[in-house]
Structure 1
Amino acid sequence: MTTTMMTTTTTAEPKTPARPLSILVKRRGTRIPARAQIMGWLLLVLVVVLLAVVLIVRQFLRGDVHNQVTASLEQEAQEFVTFAETGRDPRTGQLLTDPEQLFNSYLERQYPDHDEALIGVWRTPTGLESLSQEQNKTIEQLARDPVLLNQIVSAPGNYSSIDTPLGPMEWLKVRAQTEQGEESWFIIERYTAGAMSETDRTVQLLLLVSAFGVVLAALSSWVVAGLILAPVRDVRQAAAEISEQDLTRRIPVEGRDDIAALADQFNAMLDRLEDAFRIQREFVDDAGHELRTPITIVRGNLELLGDDPAEREEVVRLCTDELDRMTRIVNDLLVLAKADRPDFVAPAPVSLAELTSDIEAKVRSLADRRWVLADIGEGEVVIDEQRVTQAMVQLAQNAVQHTEPGSEIRIGSAFSDGTVALWVTDHGPGVDPDEVAKIFDRFTHGNSHGKGGAGLGLAIVKAIADAHHGRVRVVSEPGCGATFGLELPAVPPHDPIEEITG
């Protein structure tokens, strides 16, 4: 009888490889270097401030010129009013009866400024007549211009300004009345182009000084920003040079500013990364080293497996035993791999007496030994109950491996001076003094009289003690037994890393 088997082949559509997240997500921000950004923002603020100062100074200077011109016009007008009220020539005492005599007598004693013109104007049947006094010949021609005089006389107000070919001109007029009733006016003209040009030159000088200051600030900010950002560049270069194979690079830290704090934090991060990679490598190396033997045993037995049922049963028993041992090794390695993590222990308030009693009750089921609860400490301590129990059970298991059935094993605890002590004492062969320093290393076996494990038990005990900021102590003499104990602080010390990150 022939059986034909049909195989159905399903061809999956090719999948587009996923692109890195850095490609899918468009980065925001600018490509301008931080050094250039610092200099740019500093210069922008500086330019805005300097422009505001220049504009304010310009406005202030122009306002000051305007106030000076106004005060000068009012002073000249007041002097003329005082003179006109007397109505007589100061030299001869003659009565001044017509506008021409009044203006001529007053103007011949005046000495106008270079940009000033004093003009007397009166109306006649044929039009406006005028007398003027000025020091500038250019102003003289413009001051006597009939059109300009008529514009000033016809203006409704007594004060105003006019744009002239010589620039802005401010004027003030005073109406004079003689005994004959003729209309006349005394006009003071001030040409402000010169004063304004002096103001403009001051503003230009201020702009020049400001421009020089901006250039100097640009150079200074570029240099200072470079000095400030130098540690940041070191951080970037160090990050670029760091790889999984080389995590030894550190950044030199100088000073106590924010940049130095950043470098400190970066170095601390590198320390944590180096520890993490070291733990990872140790885990892989330890797993490969310790699992090689049981895998070889299982494979060799399976390759030599025959058809005899009894032989098969024995091979299955051996393979199961090795697989169980592999499971224990992996679990122990995982515990050690987690030992350097912050959450490896979770301290909480615990009654030391209850904890000691619970540990004694749990270890009784380990083996046929004469278990004795020697001492019980009193008080509340802050430790990880589960991890401490795990360590004490491991010490008890270690004592079982080094003693014979019926031998006495003592369990005890004490609490004094802020320190918690828990111990296990056996009457086994003890520990050689030369081995005390290395029995807590991974995959290290002491002088066991019983069936040894993978050599990870005491390493786990030491890791639990270190995580509590405590230590493991061994008191032993060869042939007189040994005491393994934990000494832990009753309250865990404050973690400086938490203080920094918090």
Structure 2
Amino acid sequence: MDEPISLLILHPDPHFGLYLEELVEDSPAFRGPIAHANSVEEGLHYCRDFVPDCILVDLSVPHFANIDVVSQLRAIHSSVAIIALTRQSSPTFAVDVMKAGAQDHLLRDAITPDVFTRSITSAVAQRRLTEKLEQQRQSLEIFTRAMAHDLKEPVRTIKSFAGLVQASEDLSAENQELIQFVVRAAHSMETLIDSISRYTRLETAQISVRSVSAPAILQVAKTNLRQQIESRQAEIIDEGLGTIECDDVLLTQLLQNLLSNAIRHCDDSPVIRVRTTYTSGACQLLVTDNGPGIATRFLETIFDPFIRLGRREREGAGLGLAICRKIAELHGGTIRCESRPGAGARFITTFPGAYIGTSAA
């Protein structure tokens, strides 16, 4: 660890605080300032002006013997590492301390210089990595939003002017066809920008899980896809949909992506069957089509971003199934495909939840 580590030691006994400081004084990592506070209030006041890399708090002494102290310290700053010293070896207590926001806890009577140093450096490295990942996530989100705004505007301009040229009566049939290529390319670019934006936003999505009516979600998805359904004369059959413990907005997006994907890849008369099945603790949403099927070697890679199978002239950005997988993962679930060439495909999305005693419709 190249950056020096700064410490704040919270302990009512200054002598014990100095003892903790002596444990790390020989380590080259601890070249930053080390401060002491004998109360939570003093420690919080200190952190208003200076946020240390790591806070050490002894939960085994009066005025500190409360896990809520860790929660108060955690509220200071997301990048602060917190290590709790305790006299309890109970696994339940350790879990509670970690849930409150500590990165580690050490038995006060079993501290050695090596253990103490490793614990602090590991906790600080973990928090610094978390903060760096958060900064990268925010940068990606800003970039995606800027891309969606700055790129879509010229694409709209291209489509607008291409439409004006296309409407000209003096345009030859050959030039009409060339302009149509431009319009289709602009439309594909707009679709790609929207897909990338949706995929990136899922990285920071906050989901709200509740009991959702799958038939109602199916109806919304069909309404959103009405033009595609009618143009391909697709038949979508509800073979028995119940309720799913999920985020209704994300379920709509997932189901809509699966339906659109199936319609797009079926050559003639798409027929798509949708149903739910239940086991103890999980619900499976099954979407089955009568398309050309998928070779076994592609059953996993189809969920990777920008992977497109089939003819290149088919519309699509190659992110639909990647978005479906991200939605399933946000729910703590999974998505997989069962298929073979010439036999259609079945996409199975599993949602964990309280489904005990529920049976499929």
- What's the TM-score, normalizing by structure 2? 0.56
The aligned counterpart of 1:489 is 352
Structure 2 residue 295 is the aligned partner of structure 1 residue 455: no
Unaligned runs of 5+ in 2: 34-50, 54-80, 84-102, 107-118, 356-361
The aligned counterpart of 2:330 is 467
1:131-146 equivalences in 2 (<5 Å): none
Query: How far did 1:315 drift?
Result: 5.1
Call closer, same or farther: CA 1:232–1:352 in 2, change over 3 Å: farther
The aligned counterpart of 2:237 is 373
| Partner residue of 2:25 out of 218, 223, 226 | 226
| Partner residue of 2:283 out of 420, 437, 441 | 420
The aligned counterpart of 2:217 is 355
For residues 297 and 20 of structure 2, what CA distance do their matches in structure 1 show?
64
Contact 2:293 2:344 in 1 (8 A): yes
For residues 123 and 343 of structure 2, what CA distance do their matches in structure 1 show?
54
Call closer, same or farther: CA 1:444–1:348 in 2, change over 3 Å: same
| Partner residue of 2:105 out of 256, 270, 284 | 256
CA distances 1:292-314 after superposition (whole Å, capped 9, x unpaired): xx99x99xx9xxx9x99315655
CA distances 1:365-394 after superposition (whole Å, capped 9, x unpaired): 423334242422334x33111211111111
For residues 218 and 457 of structure 1, what CA distance do their matches in structure 2 show?
56
The aligned counterpart of 1:87 is none
Secondary structure of the residue aligned to 1:460 is helix
For residues 194 and 347 of structure 2, what CA distance do their matches in structure 1 show?
23
Contact 1:431 1:447 in 2 (8 A): no
Call closer, same or farther: CA 1:378–1:275 in 2, change over 3 Å: same
Query: How far did 1:361 drift?
Result: 5.5
For residues 316 and 473 of structure 1, what CA distance do their matches in structure 2 show?
40
Query: How far did 1:330 drift?
Result: 0.8
For residues 221 and 383 of structure 1, what CA distance do their matches in structure 2 show?
48
Secondary structure of the residue aligned to 1:355 is helix
Q: Match for 1:223: what amino acid?
A: E
For residues 203 and 210 of structure 2, what CA distance do their matches in structure 1 show?
19
Call closer, same or farther: CA 1:453–1:362 in 2, change over 3 Å: closer
Secondary structure of the residue aligned to 2:346 is strand
For residues 31 and 133 of structure 2, what CA distance do their matches in structure 1 show?
18
For residues 308 and 17 of structure 2, what CA distance do their matches in structure 1 show?
69
Please tell me the root mean square deviation across aligned C-alpha atoms, in Å: 4.9
For residues 375 and 463 of structure 1, what CA distance do their matches in structure 2 show?
26
Call closer, same or farther: CA 1:402–1:269 in 2, change over 3 Å: same
Q: Once the two structures are aligned, what percentage of the paired residues are identical?
A: 21
For residues 268 and 203 of structure 2, what CA distance do their matches in structure 1 show?
37
CA distances 1:180-232 after superposition (whole Å, capped 9, x unpaired): xxxxxxxxxxxxxxxxxxxxxxxxxxxxxxxxxxxxx9986763473799569
Call closer, same or farther: CA 1:441–1:255 in 2, change over 3 Å: closer
For residues 337 and 288 of structure 2, what CA distance do their matches in structure 1 show?
10
For residues 450 and 374 of structure 1, what CA distance do their matches in structure 2 show?
30
Call closer, same or farther: CA 1:228–1:484 in 2, change over 3 Å: same
The aligned counterpart of 2:71 is none
Query: How far did 1:461 drift?
Result: 1.5
The aligned counterpart of 2:307 is 444
CA distances 1:271-310 after superposition (whole Å, capped 9, x unpaired): 44455567888x69x99xx99xx99x99xx9xxx9x9931
The aligned counterpart of 1:403 is 266
Call closer, same or farther: CA 1:255–1:428 in 2, change over 3 Å: closer
Q: Match for 1:478: what amino acid?
A: P
CA distances 1:224-256 after superposition (whole Å, capped 9, x unpaired): 47379956959989xxxxxxxxxxxxx9x9962
Call closer, same or farther: CA 1:452–1:342 in 2, change over 3 Å: closer
The aligned counterpart of 1:186 is none
Secondary structure of the residue aligned to 1:310 is coil
For residues 255 and 448 of structure 1, what CA distance do their matches in structure 2 show?
54
Unaligned runs of 5+ in 1: 1-32, 47-216, 238-250, 493-502
1:87-486 equivalences in 2 (<5 Å): 223-224=22-23, 226=25, 233=32, 256-257=105-106, 259=120, 264-273=126-135, 309-311=170-172, 314=177, 316-343=179-206, 345-360=207-222, 362-363=224-225, 365-367=227-229, 368-379=232-243, 381-448=244-311, 451-486=314-349
Query: How far did 1:335 drift?
Result: 0.8
The aligned counterpart of 1:79 is none
- What's the TM-score, normalizing by structure 1? 0.42
1:20-35 equivalences in 2 (<5 Å): none
Call closer, same or farther: CA 1:229–1:449 in 2, change over 3 Å: closer
Call closer, same or farther: CA 1:374–1:222 in 2, change over 3 Å: closer
Q: Match for 2:239: what amino acid?
A: D
Query: How far did 1:403 drift?
Result: 1.4
CA distances 1:111-155 after superposition (whole Å, capped 9, x unpaired): xxxxxxxxxxxxxxxxxxxxxxxxxxxxxxxxxxxxxxxxxxxxx
Secondary structure of the residue aligned to 2:267 is coil
Call closer, same or farther: CA 1:448–1:419 in 2, change over 3 Å: farther
Call closer, same or farther: CA 1:220–1:363 in 2, change over 3 Å: closer
The aligned counterpart of 1:245 is none
Contact 1:402 1:450 in 2 (8 A): no
How many residue pairs were aligned? 260
Query: How far did 1:416 drift?
Result: 3.0
CA distances 1:4-52 after superposition (whole Å, capped 9, x unpaired): xxxxxxxxxxxxxxxxxxxxxxxxxxxxx978x98xx988xx8xxxxxx
Structure number with bigger Rg: 1
The aligned counterpart of 1:132 is none
For residues 447 and 371 of structure 1, what CA distance do their matches in structure 2 show?
21
